[in-house]
Chains A and B, each alone.
Chain A
């Protein structure tokens, strides 16, 4: 097998909590991402799902180096993201891009589409003349299904779906290999979501892109991803090939999460047995001991309180962190 495009090893991101006005001291840490490891193959879409506060967005941002990692390693196309400096760092940044969740907040309202989309071109010195720039931007706009004549318009003149396309065009400007899509469709209406998802798939085929698709919509993740990772409170609890995960979930949290997803079929909905989890997700400042899911887990035993479950491969390609899963 060829070397995966992205390799994440024991990645940890803690945000320190400081107290005191003059003499600041660190009194604790939000353990947003704790010791996660995975790989993403070339041309693959890896889904990362979980509920708010599970660390999926932080993981996506940290692995691009947008947040400095507390510890661990991320290697993208042979370059170590946190050790790269100077021209090597620029190269990593050029090859790894991001699409953001909120198409309203992620575009500068005072910039024209031209300036927004060409920013990566300027930063990475990929263009020399103004004419070259305009042509490249027009090409990118057409690639994402926007009218090239709208190049001098401002973001407020576009709808949410169109703005998301501008964000995609910007991400593609520097010809990346790898794109982190951070909830790219959750702010859009259902009829527009399908348009954007189909566009992302078309671009992947056309340009050979690799995606990390961060989302909370489990139905969409099943549709678009090849493999899916489930996060809970900063840790990865399960990772498997798409249909294997949805048809044969092993971790109790994955089971509960999947049973909570509503399906648009009234007869099926009436017959479904839901695993209703009690309580809320605990605080990541002071996560539970042992398995972080144990206080809400319907099948937890004594061992779960004391011992952190090992991340292991129980079947080919199916990883899980739970004491109760048999090999």
Chain B
């Protein structure tokens, strides 16, 4: 976790969208890195730029209206943002795979599951159709779908939501990628099915040994899954820490407010929930000052005029905030 930072390095990534209403500042200089085999969780509310960051890394942003205006994505010594589309196609699906939030819409309803499962294999490997089919069957067995051989000829509508998400995971694992990006893979699922999928992913991660980026808004899911966590707000990373550190020694007012706004199923109720005042930021306005300042209970004058950089405050703990939340004074 500490030594090898050469696996994936994202530096100062900026993505914007041109819309009729003006420029949407979706990602405003995101920097992080990932080691081999590590699980990183990216947490934030809708519109915080977590999905756009990952889509930018995969170069899946539609251009126009989107545009990656700056930054680098260094994956094993290559800047993915500089690669040709052909070279990028060799990486997508083979080296870096992605699973999406909604298993209902990310499968093609008119193709059999077997056909969709073998697509990556047909694109990236010289396997014969028979070998592809056999591999697809193994993959379905790996993700715990009973009667795999028969199920290959089924269509997506013949699977339940949880089963479809298993199919998606099987698809992403087809070429044994070294990095799996999961964009809210369990948000559309019920809790008991979510627990099944999380257990499955944990086991697969152990056996395949891949690194993973897990995007979510659920701080409960993060707690049980991640090694390290990035908290995003309005297109910025506001806090980054190892998982225990983040929950026990929270340094950013936004992270703190999120944790206090969460009811707990494991505790008796002691008081009303602490709510975060105001509403999520308008990304059409070019950010000036700290984006969280209008909603922050620790806000100081400096916060309104100057945006704090993401700095190492403690070992393995970065935060972008002028204020020390323990004293309420400027750092």
Task: List residues of A whose CB falls within 8 A of some B CB.
Answer: 51-52, 159, 161-162, 189-195, 197-198, 201, 216, 218-220, 222-224, 242-243, 246, 256-270, 272, 274, 276-277, 280-281
Contacts and interface: CB of A to CB of B under 8 A. Distances in A.
A277 B266 contact: no
Contacts of A193: 261
A191 B192 contact: no
Contacts of B279: 159, 161-162, 192
Interface of B: 45-46, 160, 162-163, 190-196, 199, 217-224, 243-244, 247, 257-259, 261-266, 268-269, 272-277, 279-280, 295
A99 B138 CA distance: 47
B60 to A, nearest CB: 24
B159 to A, nearest CB: 9
A259 to B, nearest CB: 8
B273 A264 contact: no
A188 to B, nearest CB: 9
Contacts of A272: 224
Given A194-B273, A194-B275, A269-B224, A222 B190 contact: no
A246 B263 CA distance: 13
- Secondary structure class of chain A's binding surface, majority of residues: helix
Given A189-B280, A191-B257, A270-B224, A220 B263 contact: yes
A257 B192 CA distance: 6
Contacts of A274: 195, 199
Given A263-B220, A264-B223, A189 B46 contact: yes
Contact of B193 (A243, A258, A280): A280
B24 to A, nearest CB: 16
B217 A218 contact: no
A197 B247 contact: no
A41 B177 CA distance: 56
A159 B45 CA distance: 14
B220 A261 contact: yes
Nearest to B246: A266
A216 B276 CA distance: 22
A38 B268 CA distance: 24
Contacts of B258: 190-191
A222 B275 contact: no
Given A194-B274, A263-B220, A216 B190 contact: yes
Contact of A159 (B192, B219, B280): B280
B217 A266 contact: no
Given A162-B279, A268-B266, A260 B244 contact: no
A212 B206 CA distance: 43
In the complex, the 9 A-B pairs of residues with the closest C-beta atoms, listed nearest first: A262-B220, A269-B224, A223-B263, A194-B275, A51-B190, A260-B195, A191-B276, A194-B261, A194-B273
A258 B199 CA distance: 16
Contacts of B261: 190-191, 193-194
Contact of A52 (B190, B220, B244, B275): B190
B264 A263 contact: yes
